[in-house]
Amino acid sequence: MNICVIGAGYVGLTTAAVLAELGHEVNCIDQDKHKIEMLNNGEVPIYEPGLKELIYKNYNYLTFAESLDGYIKRASVVIICVGTPSWEDGSTNLCYINSVIDDLSSRINSYKTIITKSTVPPGTNEWIYTKLLEKGVPPHLFNVVSNPEFLREGSAIHDMFHADKIVIGLRPDDQQSLSVVQEMYSGISSPYIVTSLNGAEMIKYASNAFLATKISFINEIARICEAFHVDVSDVAKGLGLDPRIGPQFLQAGLGYGGSCFPKDIKSLEQTALSKNIQPHILRAVQTVNDTQIDIYIRKLRLTLDDLPNRKIAVLGIAFKPNTDDTRYSPAERFIRELSESGCIIHAYDPKAKLDDHHRPNVIQKTTVNEAIHEADCVFIATDWEEFKQLNWSEVKQLMKGTIIFDARNCLNREKVEQCGLHYIGVGRG
Ligand code: NAD
């Protein structure tokens, strides 16, 4: 098949590389000139494990361009992977989707299956269909399909090849798109969930909302555990063995972040409100998440006297391990808020970079040892494998103080304490 993927971000590039690997000819379009230049020079603008290799392997089946011109004509499938950020009130800003509709409407002259992978609120795909009709695209030349994406940054390629489901939302009278999508994904043996356009959109939001709920739930439980000197890791283990609950997403920590959960929970909240439904759970989930970092800054203040004159090594900037993505990263927010105390922060991350808006008392170091050197406290903000594998005797020698703050509950407490360091976790008594 000849496919146009619009948007060369985390979802678009992964989709393009995977579809090329499945044997399709893929044109990846992005309005960001710099990204396209990089891709055409053999560079990959984001870090995602295995992505660079998959793009290189399939370079002959992939093209990268700024405009649909010259590509849309031959494509039978168009996949929309542009960003869907939030407005100030939390509702979804569809400006990028809107500009894709404009780009497509003036160029469609043969039949296209238009697939939306971007996360969009219920009703959006129906709206895309109507907008294209209003802009003069004849109904026999296109159909619109919702195919929300469930990949996780850090394991995106694996997740796309081994998706636990492929969700397809169709218009009621659409008899042909399902077979087009099945042909496109042939080679991936995941079960299909076929539903309406609105149904597919809701599955995506409900999934993210449920996962975020699990995170806020365990973080609230961690607060109670702490008060009763109980280790929340034991509680999570006990909870997770119940097959009705499951062990995933029950790790207490700094809270959820990233480019999806925060915006999608807010968007679902606004979607509910637009129909006069009070989103009680969604609000509580956000309240817990929004206050999680404050708890750990307060705890740090209690642990370290004279915080403004201390040096803190913050390990982790990305919102989770194995990605360079810092969008709504709790680690980055922690650094920003902690920096207001005036202390010196030496931040380190294997892949992510601090943005330029940080203060002069925040310095990004290029190695973990440089960050730890002379630190009063080491604060684990992202659970990268590199941090779990640290040699704690060496860490102790490099540090000035002895406090290891494991804000991701990812370290082996005994190993840390055996080296004479003082371990503090999240809800671990
Ligand atoms: P991203 O910001 O990394 O990439 C979006 C890309 O779209 C950018 O490169 C941007 O330049 C490009 N773009 C915007 N408007 C364009 C236009 N009119 N024409 C061409 N290119 C355009 O975003 P992402 O993380 O890949 O997410 C994309 C969508 O997928 C969002 O709706 C997101 O919620 C959803 N999603 C993301 C993930 C994830 O883990 N990142 C997972 C599942 C779903």
Identical fold for domains 2-190 and 196-429, yes or no, is yes
Average pLDDT for 202-217: 98
Residues lining ligand 1, CB < 6 A? 6-12, 29-32, 35, 81-84, 96, 99-100, 118-119, 149, 151, 153, 259-260
Which ligand 1 atom minimizes the distance to the CA of 66? 20
Residue in 15, 81, 125 to alter for ligand 1 test, most ligand atoms within 8 A of Cβ: 81
pLDDT in tens, 322-375: 999 999 999 999 999 999 999 999 999 999 999 877 789 999 999 999 999 999
pLDDT in tens, 295-315: 999 999 999 999 999 999 999
The structural domains of the chain, with segments of one domain joined by +, span 2-190, 196-429
pLDDT in tens, 107-144: 999 999 999 999 999 999 999 999 999 999 999 999 99
Distance 94 CA to ligand 1 centre (A): 12
Radius of gyration of the chain (CA): 23
Residue 5, helix vs strand vs coil? strand
Question: How is domain 2-190 classified at the architecture level of CATH?
Answer: 3-Layer(aba) Sandwich (3.40)
Q: How far apart are CA 270 and CA 282, in angstroms?
A: 10
Q: Which segments within 248-351 are labelled E, that is strand? A: 311-315, 344-348
Active site residue 225: no
Residue in 29, 30, 201 to alter for ligand 1 test, most ligand atoms within 8 A of Cβ: 30
The predicted pLDDT at position 356 comes to 73
Q: Are 408 and 381 in contact (CB under 8 A)?
A: yes
Average pLDDT for 85-91: 97
Say which of 28, 260, 343, 410 is annotated catalytic.
260
Domain covering 196-429, topology = Rossmann fold (3.40.50)
Which ligand 1 atom minimizes the distance to the CA of 13? 26
Alpha-carbon distances, residue 274 vs 55, 154, 184, 205, 279 (angstroms):
42, 34, 35, 15, 11
Residues of each annotated binding site for substrate: 150-153, 204, 249-253, 257, 320
Q: How far apart are CA 80 and CA 148, in angstroms?
A: 10
Distance 259 CA to ligand 1 centre (A): 9
